[in-house]
Chains A and B, each alone.
Chain A
Amino acid sequence: MTTSEFDSYRPPEEPRRRRRRDRPDGHEKAGGREQGNRRHRSGLAPSTSDGGREMAMVPEPQFSTTASDSYYGRPIVKAPPWDERVAAYLVCGGIAGGSSLLAFGAQLTGRDVLRRNTRITALAAAGVGAVALVADLGRPERFYNMMRTVKLSSPMSLGSWVLAGFSTGAGVAAAADVDRMLGEKLPLGPLRGMLRAVEAPAGGLAALLGAPLAGYTAVLLSDTAMPTWNDAKDDLPFVFVSSASIAASGIAMITTPVRQTAPARALAVLGVVADVVATRYMEARMDPVAVEPLETGRPGMLMKWSERLAIAGGIGTLLGGRHRVVAAVSGAALVTASAFTRFGVFYAGKDSAQDPRFTVEPQKRRLAARRRAGITDDSITTVR
């Protein structure tokens, strides 16, 4: 050990840290993030722990620590380049799909105002959603390539066709009602007769594709490698159709006088129950790590408020649904609840791509579970 007067300028000596080795398989650190991941250690060569130590001129690279570690904490999977426009589309698709079902019911039971309003809602929501979806493409001018093929293995492809078919049906049905609303003053000529003739089947088509439009987005999200979306695959469709039901009913309760909205209110109450139950059930069944993004941070907040608003809206509907103002307020709460659910799920999935832990830990767990069960031939890692 050498000493010199300049030694006093050295930063104080850090005791050499040894990493803990007692973690069996890394599960324990599910709670606290590995802080050591970002830790900069000084002293690359452990043997020189005295004044002969080299001074680090650049931050030291870290050593990877435990078996569940990652490559410098970098993401393993990549989040899709979708922004809020796609989340907005998820909301709109739900509103549109649910509204078309209400419109069809109203059409069959002769509730004119409800039918007109829900048809217009369906068309408007589908239109806004489609525009948002196209705008989010990397090459919006090539959106028509979605119609190049029908591909069963691609929920996005099927969804595009569902959206196209739905928009056609909802568009014709809404056009007929708009024409009627405007006192048949539009210069339609002989087209008006045709419109009247196809109005009912068009409403039927929209209703037929309504539930698929509201629910396929769940498959679209689950059919990805995003840990949270993928892990929710069994129950997310139930969450999405429930939230679509409450959103559509909510809008109907806002737009339509109470004397015609009894079915919408009934659907709202059913939807609230299903939404709360399905969401809780889904979260309970998910992998404890993969569910984390859904329960913490911004998505966690959204999901929590979604549940509160849904319950409040449901109670409001049940108790005061025949009062116009209460109905409208409850309806607004329900629409907001639905939007929160979808935005929450959307953000959670994107967040789950950012931290490799969400990819690595559930995968290691399921691999270990399979090995314990005696299935040892399907690992991607082999020694032969």
Chain B
Amino acid sequence: MVQLTQGPDAAVEGNPTADAHYEHPHPRKGFFTDTSICIGCKACEVACKEWNRNPVDSDYTLSNSSFDNSEGLGADTWRHVAFVEQDRQRVEEARESGRALVSLGMPTLRAPGGGTGGADAGAIRPSARTGARSGPLDGPIDAGLVGGLQAGPDMGGLDVLSSLGSAVDSSAVDITPPDTPEFRWLMSSDVCKHCTNAGCLDVCPTGALFRTEHGTVVVQDDVCNGCGTCVAGCPFGVIERRKDGIAQPKTDRSPAPGVHAEKPSKADKAEKADKAEKPKKNKNSGVAQKCTLCYDRMTDGQTPACAQACPTTSIRYGEREDMVVSAQERVAQLHAQGRTEARLYGANPKDGVGGTGSVFLLLDEPEVYGLPPDPRVPTRDLPRMYARAGIAMAGMVAAAGLAFLGGGRR
């Protein structure tokens, strides 16, 4: 809304719906996933599966990688909780690499409080901070929450710069979080990033993938013909084509909310056992599937199922700008406590995908969580690729012409 009336830069940076030419765009919605308070309960994974009625995606086998047996995002798993065990050395390394980010002379991103940089001061949404304090799920990290996790120094008014400065030169590695010192668990709930420049959406030939009025990226199940181009186009490996007939829920799924299930009789159960023999096709088999940011719930003004289910507010949902602001406040807070391993992922509008709708706070390098360290939307290079291909094609025509001119003798 406000962004669209600003300069083109503000529109592109703030809200990708500008590209989609919505007449009545809504504020861009997004997630802030704060992995530092995730407890790995997987409520989000389950809630997402249930709400979207996604089929099972494994044979209930153990993956032998910590407590993670769903292994990764895919056509049937739209939220995935990663578990990583790390020893102390690794924690120290992570702290070091985070500190290195600070000393890089970091980009002039928006300071906490909004704004898309100096030139676009007008784009600051006055509600950016206050808006974040509205709902219980959207609330900023308050002292109680943080205090419950660790005895951090009282941040008072969050004097970011000075506390950062002191964190850089004085706070030693010894300010360890009150965890087991030898060992830590990283848990992170991964999800589709709803990129500002989404590779999946760009390369989809049918227009099945589209940008919603909330700035999210959604597949239209009934349009997608399963060409699979989007799978390769996503720099984060999120979207996937659903297989048919193979993965089958062990029992029939519960009916839609509001519909009453009949009590299964004995005969029904026997019939069910019969049916279980031959796998039947999954809903949307052969079609690309991924997180919709609960488009159906959003349309009704509801919070996405995963965010609603999250007991620690590790997954927070709201207007993307507010999410970025909360994320920036949180990372400053952690740095001030000496936890320099904290860093944001996806909050930079200048990155390879133009910033992500789902912003993450990570406690180690992105690849440790299975995230690409420097993703770049492939279509950003497409004009150049077309140009190179054009030259090559011209060369082919020229070669053929030459062959006929030179090959005059028969």
Contacts and interface: CB of A to CB of B under 8 A. Distances in A.
Contacts of A376: 104-107
A79 B370 contact: no
A78 B393 contact: no
Interface in A34-84: 44-47, 58-59, 61-65, 67-72, 74-82
A223 B379 CA distance: 6
A38 to B, nearest CB: 10
A216 B202 CA distance: 16
A78 B385 CA distance: 22
Contacts of B397: 101, 211
Interface stretch (A255-263, A298-306, A326-334): A255-263
Contacts of A225: 199, 232-235, 237, 375, 378
A71 B82 contact: yes
Interface in A131-167: 136-140, 142-143, 145-146, 148-149, 151, 153-157, 159-160
Interface stretch (B32-40, B300-308, B343-351): B343-351
Given A108-B404, A143-B225, A77 B237 contact: yes
Interface stretch (B85-93, B130-138, B265-273, B312-320): B85-93
Interface in A333-380: 353, 356, 359-360, 363-364, 366-367, 371, 376-380
B121 interface: no
A58 B64 contact: yes
Contacts of A142: 206, 223-226
A138 B227 CA distance: 6
A369 to B, nearest CB: 10
A139 B381 CA distance: 29
A335 B370 CA distance: 41
Nearest to A66: B93
A253 to B, nearest CB: 12
Contacts of A291: none
B228 interface: yes
A382 B343 contact: yes
Interface string A107-136: 011010000000000000000000000001
A251 interface: no
Interface string B227-246: 11101111111111110100
Interface stretch (A1-9, A198-206, A239-247): A239-247
A233 interface: yes
Given A138-B286, A145-B225, A153-B203, A380 B231 contact: no
A267 B404 CA distance: 8
Nearest to A156: B205
A45 B15 CA distance: 49
A267 B397 CA distance: 10
Contacts of B183: 44
A383 B382 contact: no
A204 B107 CA distance: 54
A381 B199 contact: no
Contact of B353 (A65, A224, A244, A380): A380
A111 to B, nearest CB: 8
A380 B351 contact: yes
B368 A154 contact: no
Contact of A241 (B328, B378, B393): B393
Contact of A82 (B97, B228, B242, B375): B228
Contacts of B322: none
A21 interface: yes
Contacts of B206: 142, 145-146, 148-149, 157
A160 B356 CA distance: 30
Given A76-B372, A78-B232, A211 B378 contact: no
Contacts of A160: 205
A88 to B, nearest CB: 16
Interface string A252-293: 000000011011111100110010000000000000000000
B392 interface: yes
A148 B206 CA distance: 6
Contacts of A218: 389, 392
B187 interface: no
B309 interface: no
Given A67-B97, A381-B344, A149 B402 contact: no
A263 B403 CA distance: 5
B392 A240 contact: yes
17 contacts: A61-B66, A62-B85, A105-B403, A137-B225, A138-B224, A139-B286, A142-B226, A159-B205, A214-B396, A215-B393, A262-B409, A263-B406, A270-B399, A363-B376, A377-B348, A379-B107, A382-B348
Given A138-B228, A145-B223, A156-B227, 18 more contacts: A46-B87, A64-B368, A67-B365, A71-B82, A72-B68, A81-B228, A137-B286, A146-B225, A154-B202, A160-B205, A214-B393, A215-B393, A219-B382, A241-B396, A264-B403, A376-B106, A380-B352, A382-B109
| Closest A-B pairs by Cβ, 9 of them | A138-B226, A138-B286, A377-B107, A71-B370, A224-B232, A157-B205, A211-B393, A142-B225, A237-B392
